Structure 1
Amino acid sequence: MDNIPSKQDILDWIAEHPDASAKRDIAKAFGIKGGARIELKKILKDLESEGLLERRRRHYQDAEKLPPVTVLELIGPDRNGDLFARPMEWQGSGPEPRVLFAPRKSDPAVGPGERFLARLIPVRGQDHHYEARLIRRIGHAAHKIVGIFRRPTGDKEAEGRILPIDKGVDREWRVRADAIHGAQDGELVEAEQVGPKARMGLPQARITERLGDPSAPRAVSLIAIHQHGIPDDLPDAVIAEADAAKPATMAGRDDLRQIPLITIDPSDARDHDDAVAAVAEPDGGATIWVAIADVAYYVRPGSQLDHEARLRGNSTYFPDRVVPMLPDVLSGDLCSLHENVDRPVISVRMRLDAQGNKVSHTFQRGMMRSLASLSYEQAQAAADGQPDAATEPLMADVIRPLWAAYDLLKSARARRQPLDLDLPERKIELTADGRVKSVNFRERFDAHRLIEEFMVLANVAAAEELERLRRPLLYRVHEEPTPEKLAALREVAEASGFTLAKGQVLQTSHLNRLLAQSEGTEFDELINMTALRAMTQAYYYPENFGHFGLALKSYAHFTSPIRRYSDLIVHRALITGHGWAAKGKANDGLSQHDIETLAETAKQISETERRSMAAERDTTDRYLAAYLSERVGTEMTGRISGIQRFGAFVRLDETGADGLLPIREIGREFFHYDRDAQTLMGAETGIELGIGQRVTVRLVEAVPMTGGLMLELVELDGKPLPRGGGAGRGRGAGQPPRKRPAQSRLREAKRTQKRKRKRD
């Protein structure tokens, strides 16, 4: 066996011939035949166990190199516009290699987050290790799973299971021993689906990240971040770019530092991106200013900061943390309008007439200095005649003029009639170690409404200005309800004794009249909830379809560029339209690439907004379940907020939490589900459950890991439940026949399918 190669000979040969690395190829190359193959197999196993080779099916490769054909995920362009991708499987000991994606003109487009099969070409002397050529697109990232990992104790060779933490999902995932990647029993993990969906048996997954102790209080938001795929780690290049930013100078700016601008924000605000001021005019009108942080100065088109901001789309807010769109050095410092510090802004000066109508506006790129950073509570107390040390000096020149201007805007709003839904906002307060201390509803002040009205008017001015300049922009679009949703709302209204006009073009004033009819009645919350559900979801788009909810023809987001990418695009459009852009490479206006990809950007940031909303909602549900877990067995009051075939959802009065009232907990009889009327009716007792009904329920179960609440019905509309028939009892005279339970139908369908397969 003198012709048996050494381990180094084999490694060298595989490096030179990556396309022919099967055992038979190696044997053929070294002339190994017969019994010598056993010795070759032993050497290859030794190399594999030493981590020097990795076996992929019947091929071997150098563990410190990527295979010549591999699956990649596109990361996106860098500041130079070059596209990079990351390998989906990297087993080497060092950091994963950089892969430059070099698409040909004939290749189909591959977007960030998409996966594709590529042929890799090693390169030397570059800032990357491989160039990738597209073989075929695979699509978006594999299905993600966040759950608890379980594995038989003491058996390192055994495969494991992942128990998902999603509400209503009880299917486990199987994890092979070689796909566990060091996860420990009981750990919270993130995994992704491996291979196609399984028709039979458990689906298979591989663990991609270990998230730690699932019972830790601050794991709640971490679960949502990973579950919804929100990027929470800023790349080094993005941080480096932010750290290198320098404060803006007065070059090319108007001096706005003499205008009495202040910020009014929540007491726990982490950034301040808008400031306001007002002065009364002799004709009974007012001039108001809205100054917005000039984020575009720091986040230039094509930069690493720009790429990451677009990818995130917006900041995501949780009770215990914020996943920001921009690094803190910008969002919390250089871009934040702190008190008594010079900060660059784009401002709009708006003139109101005595009726509160905007008659003119002027945009400026300037430098401001905030006189004060007030909380809503502080500003409201001052307006109510109870100023503190910070607001006392501001009363004459700042506070009173602001509230006088707000009175004008209120009268204009009353004529415009935007949709006036009464939707209280929850506030979850945490202890120092991240546990829920209290759950309350945020108090709404005129100070909140003042800022909202000022911001709405500034957003309108931005849209109108860009239309005047004929510059492309992203509109904030909110379309009117569909005929189907409107018909459902009308049914609920009529069943509650109210009217909603029909046979005419729907306006928000019609809905407001309905809301006013129900105000103070037992149907108040029902009508508000049903009206909200009738609304379409707002989104971003480069074409204008108006904003139904605000009753506005043109509307764009301009006032929050620290936390919304849409506003940054609007700022860039204003910069270009007014000729304010910095010259040369550092141009901070709207780039040609921005314009060409406006529709894609609109779709991207509309999706990231929905993603953040879902993550924030899930986190709130989990915190509420944790808060209520110590009150299992307690009776609580609430109102039915939703009806499904399997039961009803109840919104609890005290916390606003939503819990499930399964049909088995309502009564021991068959319930008929009416999808159109949104009711459940007992076949024997005739009791009917519908949206808006008052109930008393008992908390049966609260699961912090999923956010699920299980309830038992005690009283309906203040009355105890009538006793329904037990299982197996016959139906009463004149009552509709019982339907076969879903499980029985499912079993029968499976038996029919099995018999059919046998005949085939």
Structure 2
Amino acid sequence: MPRTALSLSGPAPLPAGRAALAAGFAAIRDEHELTTEFPPAVLDEVRTAIRGLRLPELDRTDLPLVTLDPPGSQDLDQAMAIERRSDGGYRVWYAIADVAAFVRPGGELDREARRRVLTCYLPDVRVPLHPAELSEGAASLLPGQDRPAVLWCVDVDERGVPVASDVKRALVRSRAQLDYPTMELALAEGRGPEVIGLLREVGGLLEARQTARGGMILNVPTQQVSPSPDGWRLEYAVERSIERWNAQISLLIGAAAAEIMLRGGTGIVRTLPEPSPVTIRRLRKAAKGLGVAWPDRRSYQRLVSSLTPDDPHQAALLWESMALMRGAGYTPFDGACPAKPKHSALGIEYAHATAPLRRLVDRFTSECCLAIVAGDEVPDWVREALPELPGHMERGERLSRTVDRACVDLAESVLLADRIGEDFTGVVLDLNDRIDWDQNGKPDAGTVMLRDPAVIARLDGHDLPQGAEVRVRLTKVDVTERKVYFDWIDAE
């Protein structure tokens, strides 16, 4: 999910730094065999599919659908329309790009998509799941274009509780391509399209429902390499409010999809087990050490959802809270439903369904739901793929995380290459005491989040005061290895 900057890294890199970043990003792609090019057989199959496309019989081009994405996006998976119901609730229309309309099961494009798994986003280029002719063209829900879609209709009551859902294939046409910063400004100024005002209402209700049912909102600041007029910036980022509301609509559809598949006995859900008692005890210990109040009767979900990254002690506890997300996976089923299908961080059963242009599993989710709602058998090609999808998705997500980390490490090293010997201010996030302790029984390393530039650094050999503000000194930079080295000044 796109994010908004908390703080900037300072001066953009010099021309030599820009060249080093460009070369480094290219090297990362080479290391992980990422390419924007597709085999000729895949491109031929895409063009044949586009020429032979059969449009859905159901015409819903009357719906006032709009897309809402980062500026400049062309791979538009979703378009929405929201309307009030006479009983005080809302009706959400959600059109999802019908990728399956273009993909021949077992064909060249299908095999290539299973190899790529996800669209991989690097700071300088996007490595797509599908060729641009499809993902940014014939399948993308671009404004003013008739497109085949998987069209969801979900009703929620005045409290944000889903009361009905339906899904069909339909022909749709987006009316406008909206972006986050423009709509955020429009809301702040009391203007903008009605659908964005309704998104704020419904998204807010759904977000409140998430915490009320035992879900949590983990607002951890992340590092982000972003283009600037003079080169690149490394910044901390959190989700905008409008992005969170939009994500809630996607979660609403994902929950409806999971409910349909579980009812029908065939599909694949995204699962996360409840954290272990050991993890909760560790989190309570960290909260006590950081001075963050945690009443005995308050759930970990409510505590974490209340934390803000603006406070250094709470930022450190947010960092520790990421342990609650360990164990997330994909659970396929066909015949017997899984015993524990819930996603504990969301507090519901949930499935990935809304981003088929950029994520492999979503195409299969749609096909399961369409068949079950229509009273048809789930296609054999979908059932045969279900057992293999968890492996594909885990491989793709692992690669994506690795590439993201490599790009940030590269940016850190390039941006700091000429600042060896300088001192910086940071906040101690954790003590890494899950792994190694020195011979005196103290943690042998820690992690510090620098305020400026946006660097998260490892410090070795110190008993660091978690949550405290410290001064550190940059001692070494290795651009080739994408590593930076700091020392804690107070330890001298």
> One fold, TM greater than 0.5?
yes
Is the 8 Å Cα contact of residues 485 and 534 (structure 1) preserved in structure 2? yes
Deviation digits for residues 681-706 of structure 1 (CA, Å, limit 9, x no counterpart): xxxxxxx4143332111112222222
- Comparing 542-551 with 420-429, greater Cα deviation is found at 420-429
TM-score with structure 1 setting the length: 0.56
Deviation digits for residues 321-376 of structure 1 (CA, Å, limit 9, x no counterpart): 11111111111111111111111110111111111111001112111111110110
Q: Say which structure is richer in helix.
A: 2
CA distance in 2, matches of 1:559, 1:515: 24
**Relative contact order (alpha carbons < 8 A, sep ≥ 6): 1 or 2 greater?**
2
Per the TM alignment, residue 619 of structure 1 is displaced from its structure 2 partner at its CA by: 1.2
Per the TM alignment, residue 215 of structure 1 is displaced from its structure 2 partner at its CA by: 6.6
Which of 647, 654, 657 is matched with 2:445 structurally? 647
Partner of 1:746: none
Structure showing greater radius of gyration is 1
1:337 corresponds to 2:141: yes
Quickly say closer, same or farther: Cα 1:519–1:343, change in 2 above 3 A. Answer: closer
Per the TM alignment, residue 591 of structure 1 is displaced from its structure 2 partner at its CA by: 4.1
Aligned length, in residue pairs:
459
Per the TM alignment, residue 631 of structure 1 is displaced from its structure 2 partner at its CA by: 2.2
Is the 8 Å Cα contact of residues 352 and 359 (structure 1) preserved in structure 2? yes
Partner of 1:573: 368
Instruction: Describe the SS at the equivalent of 1:648.
Output: strand
Partner of 1:512: 302
1:700 corresponds to 2:475: yes
CA distance in 2, matches of 1:659, 1:438: 17
Quickly say closer, same or farther: Cα 1:248–1:339, change in 2 above 3 A. Answer: farther
Is the 8 Å Cα contact of residues 221 and 309 (structure 2) preserved in structure 1? no
Partner of 2:235: 440
1:523 corresponds to 2:313: yes
Is the 8 Å Cα contact of residues 701 and 710 (structure 1) preserved in structure 2? yes
- Comparing 231-240 with 642-651, greater Cα deviation is found at 642-651
Is the 8 Å Cα contact of residues 313 and 605 (structure 1) preserved in structure 2? yes
1:607 corresponds to 2:404: no
Per the TM alignment, residue 247 of structure 1 is displaced from its structure 2 partner at its CA by: 6.0
Partner of 1:539: 329
Which of 323, 326, 347 is matched with 1:551 structurally? 347
- Comparing 414-423 with 269-278, greater Cα deviation is found at 414-423
Whichever residue aligns with residue 220 of structure 2, its letter is L
RMSD over equivalenced CA pairs, Å: 2.8
1:285 corresponds to 2:82: no
Is the 8 Å Cα contact of residues 500 and 514 (structure 1) preserved in structure 2? no
- Comparing 345-354 with 485-494, greater Cα deviation is found at 485-494
Is the 8 Å Cα contact of residues 637 and 696 (structure 1) preserved in structure 2? yes
CA distance in 1, matches of 2:54, 2:382: 27
1:663-702 to structure 2, matched below 5 A, reads: 663=461, 680=462, 688-702=463-477
1:34-53 to structure 2, matched below 5 A, reads: none
1:314 corresponds to 2:139: no
Quickly say closer, same or farther: Cα 1:468–1:515, change in 2 above 3 A. Answer: closer
Instruction: Describe the SS at the equivalent of 1:254.
Output: coil
Quickly say closer, same or farther: Cα 1:522–1:620, change in 2 above 3 A. Answer: closer
1:380 corresponds to 2:200: no
Instruction: Describe the SS at the equivalent of 1:651.
Output: strand
CA distance in 1, matches of 2:251, 2:97: 16
Which of 241, 246, 263 is matched with 1:451 structurally? 246
CA distance in 2, matches of 1:597, 1:557: 15
Per the TM alignment, residue 447 of structure 1 is displaced from its structure 2 partner at its CA by: 1.5
Instruction: Describe the SS at the equivalent of 1:700.
Output: strand
- Comparing 607-616 with 412-421, greater Cα deviation is found at 412-421
1:413 corresponds to 2:210: yes
Per the TM alignment, residue 638 of structure 1 is displaced from its structure 2 partner at its CA by: 0.9
Per the TM alignment, residue 379 of structure 1 is displaced from its structure 2 partner at its CA by: 1.5
1:496 corresponds to 2:290: yes
Instruction: Describe the SS at the equivalent of 2:21.
Output: coil
1:560 corresponds to 2:358: no
TM-score with structure 2 setting the length: 0.85
Per the TM alignment, residue 231 of structure 1 is displaced from its structure 2 partner at its CA by: 5.9
1:657 corresponds to 2:451: no
Per the TM alignment, residue 494 of structure 1 is displaced from its structure 2 partner at its CA by: 2.7
* Percent of residue pairs identical: 26
Is the 8 Å Cα contact of residues 428 and 448 (structure 2) preserved in structure 1? yes
Partner of 1:146: none
1:427 corresponds to 2:217: no
Per the TM alignment, residue 532 of structure 1 is displaced from its structure 2 partner at its CA by: 1.0
Per the TM alignment, residue 576 of structure 1 is displaced from its structure 2 partner at its CA by: 3.1
Quickly say closer, same or farther: Cα 1:655–1:473, change in 2 above 3 A. Answer: farther
CA distance in 1, matches of 2:292, 2:210: 25
Partner of 1:465: 260
CA distance in 1, matches of 2:352, 2:304: 29
Quickly say closer, same or farther: Cα 1:399–1:303, change in 2 above 3 A. Answer: same
Deviation digits for residues 176-227 of structure 1 (CA, Å, limit 9, x no counterpart): xxxxxxxxxxxxxxxxxxxxxxxxxxxxxxxxxxxxxx97532323333333
Per the TM alignment, residue 511 of structure 1 is displaced from its structure 2 partner at its CA by: 3.4
Which of 72, 77, 86 is matched with 1:273 structurally? 77
Is the 8 Å Cα contact of residues 152 and 168 (structure 2) preserved in structure 1? yes
Partner of 1:226: 30
CA distance in 2, matches of 1:386, 1:511: 33
